[in-house]
Each structure stands twice: as C-alpha cells, then as structure tokens.
Amino acid sequence: MAGLPPGLLIRTAKQVWTTLWQTMMGQMAPSGKGGDYQRPESAFRHEIALDSTYPPAAHRYRLIVGMGCPWAHRTLVARALKGLEETISTIPVVPSPDEGCWLFETPFRGCRTLPELYRQAQPGYQGRATVPVLWDTQTATIVNNESAEIIVILNAAFSEWASRPAVDLYPAALKADIDQWNDRIYHAVNNGVYRCGFAQTQAAYDRAVTELFEALDAIDQALAQRPYLCGDTVTLTDVRLFTTLFRFDVVYYSLFKCNRRRIQDYAHLGPYLRRLYQLPGVAATCDIEAVKRDYYGNLFPLNPGGIIPSGPDLEYLTAP
C-alpha cells in the first residue's frame, strides 16, 4: 500500500469507509429513500388502569432505563416530579459498543441483555429492544416501551402513592395546547436532532437542521411570554423537551452537527433549561458522564475513535 499513489489510496479508503459507514448506519438508523432517518414504532403499548390487566399498584412496576438515553430520561423526570421514586424502582442498563444492545448491570430474570428480556416477554420477538421499559413484576412482562405513553401513565396512574400527588403534568385544560406542542417538538426537536445526526445525505441533513432551529427559535420566542411552554406550570411538554435540551450543547451541537447555536446562547431557552433542571428531583436524574459515554463512546459510525470530550462545563445549569 505504501507504493500506491496518494490519490488512489485516498479514493480507495474513502470508498471502503463510505460503504461500511452506510451499512452500519442502515442497521443503527434506518432511513428512507432520501436519506432521512426514520424512527421505528414502539411495540408494547398497554395502559395501566383499574379495569385493565395492569391495575395501578405500589411496588408492582419497575422502569428499565439507560441513563444516557433521552427517551428513558423522560420517564425519570416525570417520576421525580410526581415523587414516585419509592413507588416505582428502576433497573439500570448500559449500552454495549461491541454487541450493539443494552446490557443489564446485574442480570435480571436470568437475562444478560435487554433483547433477551424482550424475547422472554414475547417469545420470538424480532423488533428493537429499546429503553425505557415499564415492566410488570406480577405478570413478568412488558407493559409499555413508548416513552411518550409511559410519562402519561406515570402522571395519572400512581398519584395515590406519590409524594407530590397534586402535581398534574397533563391537566385537562391544557391538553390541546400540550398535544400541539408535543407534535411539533417530537418531529423537529426530539427526533429532529437524530434526523440531523443520522442523515445519510446532505439534503436530508439540510431539511432536518432547518426544521430544528426554526422550532427552537419559535420555542424561544414563546418562552419570552411565560416560564413554561404551556403557561405558568410545568407540563409533559416541558418534560419531553427538557431531556433533549439537556443533551444539546454536550452532544447534539457537535456530534450530531446541530451547531448553528447552543441552547445556552438563547435568550429564553437557556434560562428555561436552568429552570427545569432546578425543579425538585430533576437534577438527580441527570447523568452527564453517562450521556457523553453513551453517545461518543458507542455511536461508532459517528465517532470511530470513541474519544469522549472532557467538556463542556455545566455549572451554568445551577445559575439563577
């Protein structure tokens, strides 16, 4: 190889790496014909209700979470805001960069990996084994693995045992407003950062990054008029947005190429992020070292060297 012309060597290496990159990205982040990332649907969508197979109960259900995952982080924030830490315990998992799946820190029900538990809950299961998971210890199965639905469940089903039962993150009077914000935030921001980071064409990236910052600009303007997106009280919309904003300057700005502007540089989004971070119990759900480890250390196609950056300094989150 040393005797090859530099141009030929570079072109050959680039062609080989591009082919490998596209193969790995296709497995990690499926895309459409235009190179746009398409997130698969969650498979388990049961509710917890008095008249269902899964009735509300203290200490019956557990949350399986990865601390670096923003979707799992949502459930931890909702659990903290309601004061359900004593009612619903957690089971931690960590991502394996070599196996491409979540691993239990301590084997659970004889399972070393999360895919094994999914197959235990549903024999023959071939879908994605994602977090969060709301697990029922009584029937030994998965109740729900869709974070947007789990946080609704946590808000409504366990108030009898919550230390802050008066907290209502999805009040009836605000549901229409909450749902409208949720739709826009999911597409443009929550999933939008992934559409930027996992885009496989320039056009797909350009679409995603434009929609992302148009949404962030609109949110910033809305927050000029009120402390939270739907008014004077925190709602599920804020919970869903918070876990993306918390990771933005640390991961998405650089690794996912969302680098037009940092969240802390916005006039209203920056203080809003601090306001949410300082709500009772929220800071305890935030593990920035796990976030950096899971993204920079495990997303090989985006960071082949696996080098984890030392910064940034997050002391600004504790400022007034």
Q: Take residue 274 and report the two structure tokens written for it.
A: 């601090």
Is 146 marked as binding a ligand?
yes
Q: Is 186 a catalytic residue?
A: no
Q: What are phi and psi of 212, to 5 degrees?
A: -60, -50
Q: Is 194 a catalytic residue?
A: yes
Is 102 marked as binding a ligand?
yes
- Amino acid letter at 25? M
Sequence-distant (6+) residues with CB within 8 A of 129 are 101, 102, 113, 114, 115, 117, 118
Asked if 112 and 104 count as a contact pair (C-beta separation under 8 A), the reply is yes
Asked if 178 and 151 count as a contact pair (C-beta separation under 8 A), the reply is no
Catalytic pick from 69, 230, 258, 286?
69
Nearest to 150 by CA among 243, 222, 213, 218: 243
Which positions are annotated as active-site residues?
69, 194
Annotated binding site for glutathione: 102, 128-131, 146-147
Annotated binding site: 102, 128-131, 146-147
